[in-house]
Amino acid sequence: MHKKGETIIKKHKRLIISILIAINALFSFGLSFAFWASEVSGHSGSGIGTVPIGDWGIPIFTASEFYTFATKTDSALTDQYYLANDIDFTGFPWNYDASNYEVIFRGTLNGNGKKLINLTITNTSINTLYAYNGIFPRSQGSTIYKLTLENVNVVSNLTGSNQRSGLLIGEAQSGTTTLSDIKVINSTVQGTHTSGVGGLVGSVINSGTVVNLTNIKVQQLKVYNHQSSVGGLVGRVGTSGAEVHITDVDFIGEIHSNLAQNQNSASNAGGLIGQLVSGARLTVNRAIVEAIFENTFVTGANINQYSNRYLGGIIGSNGSTAANVSVTHAFYTGSLYTRLDARRNDIGTISGQGATAATVSNSFHSFVAYRNIGGAITYTNVTPTGQMAQLVNATALPTQSWWNTFYLNFTSNPLWLQNGTGRPYLNL
């Protein structure tokens, strides 16, 4: 009996010790977690933290913190930031001043599946120091991914003449800039320069500069250039040897070039790319583009409704060669309705200028509106001077069975699905 009692007491002691050890471990973990959480959430709201959290980098919580990050002038390739939550800029004044000219983003922004919402960046100056408009005025080798832009607007002073604009980047100047898993909803961008205005990137310059755009979904984006060279994603690739590579894009939007009403003026407006100069390089693979080349959101004196000549479903004006430009597995629908019927033929469902300037495979168009002589809308093919994709149906979108076959080219990327009509859409 005595030995049995001792055994019971020992068991109780072991149990008590185990409980105390567990309590101590939980207490220590709590202190560690509290310290970690304070490091993550300890932000003043007027600046930005400097403590990286593992491989994620530095967290951004507020509109003020994001502004501080996006306008810093000492960005490095090693910079890593991420959005800790959705950021609503309602009421936040994004001050655009001369220091923005010096802003070059070189680091990495992980959107972390979050949104930038209700942001307006307004440039009221006509000074050349304000030449680059966008969340990041210029990029040199930056990476931005897993980000949604909703009701984001880049606004330019239309009396100026030197403003390249893009929602994310005004101009990509060197290195490799990569934008991936980007979603744009109900947003606008405008600029005033022939160097380019684009939905995401205004201008790409310098030989060796590479811009990669992958998994891009655009819904109701309006892109406006008071001059020429305007594209749904990129305004102008303006240097021989500069490159843009586009893979997996689902685009719905409006593109407009507001040139003076002169039949010889070239809008160079494209569903994805406004203009490619000689020697520039472009690849497009798996793209669905629904674009009209009209203006429904900028009003005022001398503001036109329709773009002028050289309108292209994919590329506005292609000055490069078939060896440098390829379009594969693409589909276009929308309108190539020119301002003047005298230039109604200067269009193409691949490119508005450059009838043989791209290598095209498995690319199609349907239900495209053109301007007839006399000004009427017609869905009957004109005699285009640009490059055309293959016609599926002139007066309607494809049937579901046709879409089913075309969709087989998209299945290697699981983000592509089909809607009720069969049209592929990017599930971002």
Q: Where are the domains of the chain?
A: 1-41, 56-397
Is pLDDT at 30 greater than 90 in this prediction? Answer: no
Is pLDDT at 38 greater than 80 in this prediction? Answer: no
Predicted pLDDT at 54: 60
Is pLDDT at 29 greater than 70 in this prediction? Answer: no
Instruction: For residue 421, give the nearest of 407, 43, 369 by alpha carbon.
Output: 407
Question: Is the distance from CB of 282 to CB of 276 less than 8 angstroms?
Answer: yes
Is pLDDT at 270 greater than 80 in this prediction? Answer: yes
**For residues 118 and 120, what is the distance between their CA atoms, to the nearest angstrom?**
7
Q: How does pLDDT run across 291-321, given as a tens digit for each residue?
A: 999 999 999 888 999 999 999 999 999 999 9
Per the document, the length of the chain is 428
Q: Lowest mean pLDDT: which of 49-53, 100-104, 200-204, 349-353?
A: 49-53
Name the one residue in this structure whose structure tokens are 């009396």.
Answer: 159
Q: How does pLDDT run across 51-104, given as a tens digit for each residue?
A: 566 677 999 999 999 999 999 999 999 999 999 999 999 999 997 776 677 899
Predicted pLDDT at 98: 66
Is pLDDT at 36 greater than 60 in this prediction? Answer: no
Question: Is the distance from CB of 87 to CB of 117 less than 8 angstroms?
Answer: yes
Reduce the secondary structure of 177-241 to three states and give it as a string. Answer: EEEEEEEEEEEEEEECCCCCEECCEEEECCCCCEEEEEEEEEEEEEEEECCCCEECCEEEECCCC
Is pLDDT at 14 greater than 60 in this prediction? Answer: no
Strands 325-336 and 132-133: unpaired
Count other C-beta atoms under 10 Å from residue 282's C-beta. Answer: 25
Predicted pLDDT at 31: 33
Name the one residue in this structure whose structure tokens are 């590329």.
Answer: 315
Question: Amino acid letter at 245?
Answer: H
**For residues 148 and 134, what is the distance between their CA atoms, to the nearest angstrom?**
15
Is pLDDT at 147 greater than 60 in this prediction? Answer: yes
Is pLDDT at 39 greater than 50 in this prediction? Answer: no
CA 336 to chain centre: 22
Question: For residue 121, what are its two tokens?
Answer: 């960046």
Question: Is the distance from CB of 153 to CB of 186 less than 8 angstroms?
Answer: no
Predicted pLDDT at 260: 72
Reduce the secondary structure of the chain to three states and give it as a string. Answer: CHHHHHHHHHHHHHHHHHHHHHHHHHHHHHHHHHHHHHHHHCCCCCCCCCCCCHHHCEEECCHHHHHHHHCCCCCCCCCEEEECCCEECCCCCECCCHHHHHCEECCEEEEEEEEEEEEEEEECCCCHHHCEECCEEEEECCEEEEEEEEEEEEEECCCCCCCEEECCEEEEEECEEEEEEEEEEEEEEEECCCCCEECCEEEECCCCCEEEEEEEEEEEEEEEECCCCEECCEEEECCCCCEEEEEEEEEEEEEEECCCCCCCCEEEEECCEEEECCCCEEEEEEEEEEEECECCCCCCCCCCCECCEEEECCEEEECCCCCCEEEEEEEEEEEECCCCHHHCCCEECCEEECCCCCEEECCEEEEEEEECCCCCEECCCCCCCCECCEEEECCCCCCHHHHHHHHCCCCCCCCEEECCCCCEEECC
Per-chain mean pLDDT for the chain:
88
Predicted pLDDT at 2: 47
**For residues 354 and 310, what is the distance between their CA atoms, to the nearest angstrom?**
9
Q: For domain 56-397, is the CATH number 2.160.20.110?
A: yes
| Phi, then psi, of 8 in degrees rounded to 5 | -65, -45
**For residues 318 and 320, what is the distance between their CA atoms, to the nearest angstrom?**
6
pTM above 0.75, yes or no: yes
Question: For residue 130, what are its two tokens?
Answer: 């304000």
Predicted pLDDT at 274: 98
Instruction: For residue 48, give the nearest of 37, 59, 36 by alpha carbon.
Output: 59
**For residues 251 and 423, what is the distance between their CA atoms, to the nearest angstrom?**
12
